[in-house]
Amino acid sequence: MGMSEIVVGADGSECGPAAVGWAAAEAVRRSASLRVVHVVVPWLFDVPSNPRIAAIGGWMYDGGEEIVERALGRARTAAPEVEVSGGQAGGEPADVLIRESGRAVMVVVGSHGAGGPAGLLPGSVGHAMLHRARCPVAVVPHRRRVLSREAG
């Protein structure tokens, strides 16, 4: 049986941890693997001729790796039995995640990206996903206390 995969977008915002935790729990329910994707500007993967740009790119890349590692750690803690992987991808967040939706059983995003208010309405990426994704989409709000009242 081919392992189904859930993709979760990690952007370093305050919504990210809730989205990753929710996606990990969903992966357990579906016996799916989980892949964390952090979307970065496409030029990050070019080899710049200007050393200053190279330095900025290196700093951004390292920051992205840290976001991915934090999300992977959170997923592994939340669901140790789930196979977890992750990495950075270059492009526009909505475009990259829509492309990922072609081979995922579900794509999970936070309700707002970095700097957005933590409400229930989806941000621009979530909005695009809800309209254009090729698989089910979950938009997870930052404050999810109501959703996590199962135990205790």
Domain ranges of the chain: 5-147
Q: CA 92 → CA 22, 38, 99, distances in Å?
A: 23, 11, 11
**Cα–Cα dist 22/24, whole Å:** 5
Does CATH place domain 5-147 in 3.40.50.620?
Answer: yes
> Looking at residue 143, what is its pLDDT?
64
Q: Give pTM, 2 decimals.
A: 0.85
Q: Where are the beta strands (DSSP E) in the chain?
A: 5-9, 33-40, 84-90, 106-110, 137-140
What is the rounded distance in angstroms from the CA atom of residue 12 to the CA atom of residue 152? 29
Kindly report which listed range (15-29, 34-48, 92-106, 118-132) carries the lowest average pLDDT score: 118-132
Residue 61's pLDDT is 93
The rounded distance, in Å, linking the Cα atoms of 113 and 9 is 10
Lookup: tokens for 106:
């579900």
